[in-house]
Amino acid sequence: MLSLVRRGRRMRCLYFTHSLSQTHNSFYCTKFYSSSPFQNPLFKLCSGILRPISRPPIRAFCTTSTEAKADRVAALKQTMEAPDAISYLTQREAAEIDETLMGPLGFSVDQLMELAGLSVATSIAQVYKPSEYGRVLIICGPGNNGGDGLVAARHLYHFGYKPFICYPKRTAKPLYTGLVTQLESLSIPFLSVEDLSLDLSKDYKVIVDAIFGFSFHGTPRPPFDDLLKRLVSLHNSDQIHQRRSVIVSIDIPSGWHVEEGDVHGEGIKPDMLVSLTAPKLCAKKFTGLHHFLGGRFVPPSIAEKYKLHLPPYPETSMCVRIGKPPQIDISALRENYISPEFLEEQVEADPIKQFLKWFDDSLTVGLREPNAMALTTVGKDGKPSSRMVLLKGVDKEGFVWYTNYESRKARELAENSHASLLFYWDGLNRQVRVEGSVKKVSEEESEQYFHSRPRGSQLGAIVSKQSTVVPGRHVLYQEYKELEQKFADGSLIPKPKNWGGYRLIPQLFEFWQGQPSRLHDRLQYSPYEINGQLAWKIERLAP
């Protein structure tokens, strides 16, 4: 059997009484982000044969990394529930932090502009998927915010979006001309103001406001005054028959006062705000659905000096949502799956081989725990129960997993040996259902697998009287520590008599591939006998 086993640039914080063309001299605020969930996975060459995979470490007991992760989750939840606990910067503080970043901390303008644009692009990708919001217009001003927009456009292109750029007042500095050259090499269109429709919603799903930074002050001059009016009109127009474009603003919404916000209530109302380093005071007046913060690179010395309270960033992400998640109409949540067709003439005649083929695909693209499966059992009372377990082996005889023989699922299997498995591979838009009868694997097979596990997992199996009531976690932990001491000499840990494996012997398969407009591919394999040999009939089911 095969084992499955800002922008450190400097935005001169002068209130502008000069012409708009001078905005490119401003200092700038730092912004940052890392990788995107929409980057294409790196594919590895694979043999097409299911290969061993490493087993996850024991999860039943605390480790340093687990505790740290729990602390981050708790802190993040507190931040989202109490956004006022986050620090908001005045214009002076933002400028001083930029001075420090660009001075003793050694950040360069182009380095931080790159990180800022990546922060914006990845924030967009977290909310607005390219399959539904593919056409993006980035409106760039002549200053550093405009540079952020140019960088964001390049990343959005590589994330699968189709960006368009309106950059009417170009800056002649090498940094900016280099960004334009990069975008032109990708054949990203540059549009004049005259090329744009009065109603931007006709052509674009997302509009990125990269016009003014936090140092802008005064009245916008042409052509930006007209562009801002078009953005404002998106919220004022009647969009009954057409969904309007969403607006994403970089650091502050263009035209807002950096500390007082939309003073007259007549400014643009972005749907998303991507704050950088720390949110500016005007962000407290932001009422859109999505507020993100980029800037995980802020060093402790700056955080301590300015008494910054910033949210923790999840996992390796360099961008984090601020405030409560938006209230969503659950009935409106839907995905329009884009997948290759799954046709009868392309599949394996043997469902086990087809399963291994799909499983190998899930390994190749790096999906997390592709061997996780929902096991559904039904006891004599007729009530079904489901839980996630890990597949630990598959061959022509069936699918194997291990558990406690006194658990609820074990009791139900003793009463009714029929069960079902469900694999769901989100990254590939695929599901596999398997139904059949279940029996225990041999004691030798269970023994062999038990001793192949990490010693911590072996001890955990002894401690856990699965599905029974325990007074508290401390009881489990104490028993675990006692066993750890008992077997500290490295001696063999005996397998519990009430622990072992099950094998589901398949009697029905269904392979599901998500497709656009809910016209999913569903191919069912059912067994029949031909000339005394087992064969499988393949039929297409309506989605």
State the catalytic residues. 518
Question: Rounded distance, CA 536 to CA 527, Å?
Answer: 4
Residue 401 pairs in a beta bridge with: 502
Tokens coding 513: 């591939």
Tokens coding 206: 């997302």
Question: Rounded distance, CA 395 to CA 184, Å?
Answer: 52
Tokens coding 138: 């980035």
Location of structure tokens 């269904």: 510
Cβ density class 46-77: b for 16+ within 10 Å, e for less? eeeebeeeebeebeebeeeeeeeeeeeeeebe
Determine phi and psi for 522, rounding to 5 degrees: -130, 115
CB under 8 Å to 503, separation ≥6 — which residues?
397, 398, 399, 400, 438, 439, 440, 441
Give Cα separations from 199 to 169, 243, 244 (angstroms). Answer: 22, 12, 9
Question: Rounded distance, CA 292 to CA 270, Å?
Answer: 12
Helix (H) or strand (E) holding 71: helix 64-81
Tokens coding 290: 């999505």
Output the CA torsion sign for 127, 131, 137, 138: positive
The dihedral over CA atoms of 53, 57, 60, 65, expressed in degrees to the nearest 10, equals -130
Tokens coding 343: 């046709």
Q: How many helices (H) and strands (E) does the chain have?
A: 12, 18
Identify the three-state secondary structure at position 530.
Answer: strand
Question: Rounded distance, CA 116 to CA 275, Å?
Answer: 10
Output the CA torsion sign for 407, 408, 412, 418: negative
Residue 433 pairs in a beta bridge with: 422, 510
Give Cα separations from 446 to 17, 186, 352, 452, 478 (angstroms). Answer: 79, 56, 22, 10, 26
Strands 398-404 and 393-395: antiparallel
Give the helix ranges, DSSP H, for 88-242.
91-102, 109-127, 144-158, 174-185, 224-236
Output the CA torsion sign for 20, 25, 31, 35: positive
